[in-house]
C-alpha cells in the first residue's frame, strides 16, 4: 500500500468511526430520552390512577359509613317516637323486645340503651345489667344533659360496659313534653363492624383505611393498632388544609401516625361530622411500579446493547470493505507500475538505454505505414562500430560495453524530432529511423554522426583507421514506402548494403544508396 493510500485509508477509517460513534450516541440518547420520558409518564400515570383509586375508595367507604350511621339514627328516631307515645316506665318489657328486634337486623350494632335523667339504665339489649349501672359519666350523656337539640350525637370510641367491646356511641336526647331532659337513647356501633368491612378490601400491608370524626379524632384505622383509636389527627394536612377547601379529594402527604408517605383519598360525610380516608403507601406503589419499570429498563438496555453490537458489526464490515478496497487499489497501482516497468524493459536496451530491436521493428513498421499513407520520404541509417572485435580483444569486454554506451549517447544526441528513433540493432550495430527525411538530409546527418563519434576520441589502438580512435560506418537508404509487406526487409537490406559499401570503402564514413 502506498503512503498516500494509507493516509487516505486512515482518514476514512477515523471519519467512519467518528460518524458511527456520533450515530450511536445520537441513537442511544434518543432511546434513553424516550425511555426516560416513558418511565416518567408511566410513574405520573401510576400516581394519578392511585389518586383516583384512593378518592373513589374513600367516597365509597364514606357512603358505607353514612348508611351505617343513617340506619342507626333512623332506629334511634323510631325508638324515640315510640317512647314519646308509650312512655318509659311501664313499657320496659315491650321496649326491650323492640330494642332486641332492632339490634338483630342491624349487624353494626353492639347494643341499644335507654338511660334516665340520672344516667341509670332503664332499658337495654344487654343480657344482664352491670351492678350499679350508671352512664352519667359518659361524654354523650353529659352532652345531651347540656344540649337541648334533638340531633344525633356521635361520641369518641369507648369500651362498652355491657359487652366489653370497643364501640362508637351514637346517641339522642329524650325530652319530656315540656322540653326538659328525660334521658338519653343510645345505640353503640361495634368497631369490629368497620374492621370486618375494611378487611374485605385487598390492600397492601401499609395501606390505610380510616374513619375519623370531623375534629380529627380516629374512630378506626386499618391496619393500625387499636391503641391509636381516639388519637387526634387535627394537625394533619387533611384537617389543617385539605378539608377546608373541599369535602372530597386526593393528595399525597406524610401520615401523622407513622410518618409514611401515602396517597390519600378523603371524603367528608354530608350528614354526619365524619371523615373517611383511604391511603396507599407510596413505597409500595414505587415497588410495584419499579418492578415493571425495571423490566422495561432492562429491555431497553438489551435493545441498546444490541444496537451497539449491530453498530460494531456494521463498522467492522465497513472497515474490512474499506481495507480490501484500499488494498485492491494498492495492488492495482503496483501492478500498473510493474506493467509499465515490464513494458519499458521490453522496449529498451539494457546496456545503452536506447530503444531495443523490438521497439525498432515496431517503430520502423509504423513509420513505413505512415510513409506509405502520406507518401513522405523515410530514411534508415544502419550503423556499425568499426573493428570492434579488435577493441574487445584489446581492451576487454567491459571496456567494449562502456565504448558502446558512449557511442550510443552520441548517436542519441542527434535525434532531431520525436518521430526519430535511435535504436540498438544488435551487438555493436545501431539503427536510426528518420521519418519524413529526404536522402540528402539523412546523408548529411549520418556524416555528422560519423564525425562526432570519431570526435569522441575514444582510443582504439587496433583500429584500421589512421586516427586510432573508435569510429563508425553508416549505410543510408531513403524510400517512399509502398504497401508491400516486404517493405521493411527491403529497406533494411538496402541500408545494410550501403553500410557494407561504407565498410569496404575504408570505414569511418557514411554511404547513401
Ligand X SMILES: Nc1nc2c(ncn2[C@@H]2O[C@H](COP(=O)(O)OP(=O)(O)OP(=O)(O)O)[C@@H](O)[C@H]2O)c(=O)[nH]1
Q: Please identify every residue annotated as catalytic.
A: 428
Q: What length does the chain have? A: 513
Asked if residue 116 binds ligand X (CB under 6 A), the reply is no
CB nearer ligand X, residue 353 or residue 427: 427
Among 51, 73, 386, 494, binds ligand X (CB under 6 A): 386
455 binds ligand X (CB under 6 A): no
- Our CB check for ligand X shows the closer of 384 and 494 to be 384
If one asks whether residue 352 binds ligand X (CB under 6 A), the answer comes out as no
Residue in 17, 317, 397, 451 binding ligand X, rule: CB under 6 A: 397
Query: Residue 472 corresponds to which cell in the numbers above?
Result: 563508425
Q: Using the minimum distance from each CB to ligand X, give the nearer residue, 269 or 446.
A: 446
**130 DSSP 8-state letter:** P
CB of 403 to ligand X, least distance (A): 7
Q: Lay out the site mask for ligand X across 264-283 (x = CB under 6 A, - = otherwise).
A: --------------------
Contacts of residues 261-265 at CB distance under 8 Å and 24 or more positions apart, as own/partner, are 262/206, 262/207, 262/208, 263/47, 263/50, 263/51, 263/54, 264/54, 264/58, 264/208, 264/238, 265/51, 265/53, 265/54, 265/55, 265/56, 265/57, 265/58, 265/59
The least distance separating ligand X from the CB of residue 388, rounded to whole angstroms, comes to 4
State the Cα–Cα distance between residues 241 and 245, nearest whole angstrom. Answer: 7
Only one of the segments 16-24, 365-373, 387-395, 493-501 lies at the binding site for ligand X (rule: CB under 6 A); that segment is 387-395
> Could you tell me the smallest distance in angstroms from the CB atom of residue 443 to ligand X?
20
Told to check if 353 binds ligand X by CB under 6 A, we report no
Q: Angle, nearest 10°, between helix axes 487-504 and 357-374?
A: 110
Antiparallel, parallel or unpaired: β 429-435 and 181-190: unpaired
Q: Does 356 bind ligand X (CB under 6 A)?
A: no
**C-alpha closest to that of 463 among 403, 413, 423:** 403
Instruction: Calculate ∠ Cα 164-167-172, nearest 5°.
Output: 120
Binding to ligand X in span 465-504, by CB under 6 A: 503
Residue that has been written with the C-alpha cell 401499609 in this structure: 206
The CB-of-453 to ligand X minimum distance in angstroms stands at 13
Name the minimum Å distance from CB 423 to ligand X. Answer: 14
| Gap between the Cα atoms of 397 and 389, Å rounded | 9
Interface residues with ligand X (CB under 6 A)?
351, 384-390, 392, 397, 400-401, 404, 427-428, 503
Amino acid at each position: 500500500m502506498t503512503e498516500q493510500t494509507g493516509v487516505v485509508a486512515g482518514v476514512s477509517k477515523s471519519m467512519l468511526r467518528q460518524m458511527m460513534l456520533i450515530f450511536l450516541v445520537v441513537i442511544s440518547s434518543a432511546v434513553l430520552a424516550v425511555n426516560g420520558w416513558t418511565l416518567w409518564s408511566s410513574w405520573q400515570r401510576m400516581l394519578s390512577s392511585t389518586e383516583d383509586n384512593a378518592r373513589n375508595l374513600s367516597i365509597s367507604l364514606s357512603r358505607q359509613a353514612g348508611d351505617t350511621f343513617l340506619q342507626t339514627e333512623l332506629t334511634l328516631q323510631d325508638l324515640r317516637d315510640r317512647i314519646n307515645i308509650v312512655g318509659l316506665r311501664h313499657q320496659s318489657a315491650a321496649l326491650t323486645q323492640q330494642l332486641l328486634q332492632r339490634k338483630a337486623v342491624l349487624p353494626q350494632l353492639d347494643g341499644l340503651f335507654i338511660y334516665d335523667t340520672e344516667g341509670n339504665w332503664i332499658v337495654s339489649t344487654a343480657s344482664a345489667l352491670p351492678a350499679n349501672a350508671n352512664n352519667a359519666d359518659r361524654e354523650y350523656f353529659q352532652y345531651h344533659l347540656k344540649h337541648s337539640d334533638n340531633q344525633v350525637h356521635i361520641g369518641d370510641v369507648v369500651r362498652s360496659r355491657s359487652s366489653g367491646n370497643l364501640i362508637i356511641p351514637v346517641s339522642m336526647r329524650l325530652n319530656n313534653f315540656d322540653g326538659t331532659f328525660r334521658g338519653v337513647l343510645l345505640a353503640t356501633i361495634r368497631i369490629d363492624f368497620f374492621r370486618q368491612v375494611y378487611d374485605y378490601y385487598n390492600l397492601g400491608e401499609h395501606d390505610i383505611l380510616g374513619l375519623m370524626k370531623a375534629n380529627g379524632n380516629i374512630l378506626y384505622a386499618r391496619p393500625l393498632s387499636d391503641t391509636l383509636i381516639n388519637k387526634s389527627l387535627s394537625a394533619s394536612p387533611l384537617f389543617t388544609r385539605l378539608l377546608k377547601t373541599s369535602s372530597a379529594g386526593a393528595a399525597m402527604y406524610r401520615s401523622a401516625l407513622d410518618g409514611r408517605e401515602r396517597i390519600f383519598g378523603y371524603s367528608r360525610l354530608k350528614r354526619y361530622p365524619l371523615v373517611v380516608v383511604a391511603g396507599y403507601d407510596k413505597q409500595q406503589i414505587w415497588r410495584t411500579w419499579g418492578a415493571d419499570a425495571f423490566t422495561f429498563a432492562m429491555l431497553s438496555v438489551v435493545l441498546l446493547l444490541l444496537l451497539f453490537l449491530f453498530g460494531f458489526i456494521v463498522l467492522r464490515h465497513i472497515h474490512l470493505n474499506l481495507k480490501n478496497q484500499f488494498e485492491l487499489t494498492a495492488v492495482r497501482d503496483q501492478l500498473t507500475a510493474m506493467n509499465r516497468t515490464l513494458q519499458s524493459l521490453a522496449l529498451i536496451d539494457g546496456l545503452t538505454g536506447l530503444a531495443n530491436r523490438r521497439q525498432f521493428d515496431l517503430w520502423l513498421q509504423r513509420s513505413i505505414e505512415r510513409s506509405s499513407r502520406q507518401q513522405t520520404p523515410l530514411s534508415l541509417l544502419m550503423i556499425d562500430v568499426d573493428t570492434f572485435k579488435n577493441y574487445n580483444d584489446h581492451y576487454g569486454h567491459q571496456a567494449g560495453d562502456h565504448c558502446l554506451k558512449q557511442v550510443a549517447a552520441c548517436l542519441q544526441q542527434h535525434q532531431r524530432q520525436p518521430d526519430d528513433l535511435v535504436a540498438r540493432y544488435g551487438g555493436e550495430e545501431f539503427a536510426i529511423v528518420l521519418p519524413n527525411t529526404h536522402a540528402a538530409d539523412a546523408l548529411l546527418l549520418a556524416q555528422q554522426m560519423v564525425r562526432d563519434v570519431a570526435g569522441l576520441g575514444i582510443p582504439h589502438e587496433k583500429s584500421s583507421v589512421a586516427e586510432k580512435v573508435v569510429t563508425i560506418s553508416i549505410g543510408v537508404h531513403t524510400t517512399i514506402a509502398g504497401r508491400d509487406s516486404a517493405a521493411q526487409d527491403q529497406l533494411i537490406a538496402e541500408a545494410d548494403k550501403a553500410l557494407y559499401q561504407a565498410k569496404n570503402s575504408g570505414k569511418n564514413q557514411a554511404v547513401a544508396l
